[in-house]
Amino acid sequence: MIKRDDCTGLAMGGNKARQLEFYLGDALNRGCDVVLSTGAVQSNYMRMLAAAAAKVGLECHIQLESRVNNDSQEYQESGNVFLDKLFGAHIHHYAEGEDESGADSEINRIATTLERSGRKPYVVPLAPVEQPKGALGYVLAASELTRQFVDTGLWPDVIVVGSGSGLTHAGMLTGLRIMGVNIPVIGACVRRDKAQQGPRIFQTCRKIEKMLGRSQVVKQSDVWVNDLALEPGYGKASDRVMAAMSEMARYEGILLDPVYSGKTVGCTLMMIESGLLQRHRRIVMLHSGGTPALFAYGKQILSSAAFSL
């Protein structure tokens, strides 16, 4: 089963719509007139932030980090980048790809410059912060998903989500545990290996609990992450991930991207093949969106072995 958050409706869909509701709501409540954030060149988050800001009347500045070694015109200008420009975002560039603190410092420097010119900026964070408000969108999504399980009578053995910044993964896990639902939530690593991602998710869960006035509803043993589909790294797809994308397109008519949803499905299939999900037959996968990125990877995807069959 697939939870279709690629159909959320804003700017070609995606899981970020649920997160941005809380960040932009906070920005508007504070009387801010410009929002800023930082992400990869083909970031779905930046695309949806640009669209949401346009919708509510906020100026938007996004910083694109060079996380993927791909200088092709297709990657640098198509897909999400094209849509960023279409939505009217002001685009900045950050040359480093794996410097989370440096990227954050630079976007905050831009915000300070805007503030000095009389603007009231709001920075949407992607790095860990004390109040990860965006994760609350997936606390609510956990409640929505649980109602759907009740209504249909279809209760899964496990839920698989893409795990990058961690807000979707941690929010879903914390929301389920708050409601007393003990379904395992497995995060398919898309940027960091499981040794780095596991502690990040657990710490984010603790911060969510604090925001909601709860205490230790998530246990360390609740945090499941798997990095079988991570290689060859962020923004790159293995042959197995490409095969998963091909199979979903040709047998289900569902589009996956090579950065997030493709790795979520690919990781799920690899766990099944390796026997890790032998006792988990009923699986729900969260489709987090990412469709525009297909156009940035078009030549690479169609030239892969999976799509040449």
Per 3-state DSSP, what percentage of the chain is helix, strand, and coil (rounded to 5)?
50, 15, 35
Question: Any catalytic annotation for residue 105?
Answer: no
Residues 6+ apart with CB under 8 A from 189: 163, 197, 225, 226, 227, 229, 230, 263, 267
Question: Measuring CA to CA, which residue among 193, 187, 207 is closest to residue 260?
Answer: 187
Contact yes or no for 290/11 (Cβ under 8 A): no
**Three-point CA angle 4, 24, 168, nearest 5°:** 35
DSSP 29-59: HTT--EEEEEEETT-HHHHHHHHHHHHHT-E
Instruction: Note the pLDDT of residue 309.
Output: 60
Tokens 């780095």 belong to 196
Q: How far apart are CA 155 and CA 166, in angstroms?
A: 24
DSSP 211-238: HTT--S-S-GGGEEEE-TTTTT-TT---
Question: Measuring CA to CA, which residue among 236, 234, 226 is closest to residue 297?
Answer: 236
Instruction: Note the pLDDT of residue 97.
Output: 84
Task: Sort residue 128 into left (φ over 0), alpha (ψ -120 to 50) or beta.
Answer: beta
In which order are the strands placed within the sheet that holds 121-123?
A: 90-94, 59-65, 34-40, 121-123
Q: Phi, psi at residue 277, to the nearest 5°?
A: -110, 30
How far apart, in Å, are the Cα atoms of 156 and each of 49, 253, 254? 32, 23, 21
Q: Which fold has domain 2-8+131-307?
A: Rossmann fold (3.40.50)
Q: Which stretches of 232-273 are assigned E, i.e. beta strand?
A: none
In CATH, 17-123 is 2.30.29.30: no
pTM, to two decimals: 0.93
Catalytic residue of the set 43, 165, 288, 304: 43
Instruction: Note the pLDDT of residue 308.
Output: 72
- List where CATH 3.40.50.1100 sits in the chain: 2-8+131-307, 17-123
How far apart, in Å, are the Cα atoms of 98 and each of 103, 251, 261? 9, 36, 21
Q: Would you give per-residue pLDDT tens digits along the chain (309 residues)?
A: 999 999 998 999 999 999 999 999 999 999 999 999 999 999 999 999 999 999 999 999 999 999 999 999 999 999 999 999 999 999 999 998 888 899 999 999 999 999 999 999 999 998 889 999 999 999 999 999 999 999 999 999 999 999 999 999 999 999 999 999 999 999 999 999 999 999 999 999 999 999 999 999 999 999 999 999 999 999 999 999 999 999 999 999 999 999 999 999 999 999 999 999 888 889 999 999 999 999 999 988 988 888 776
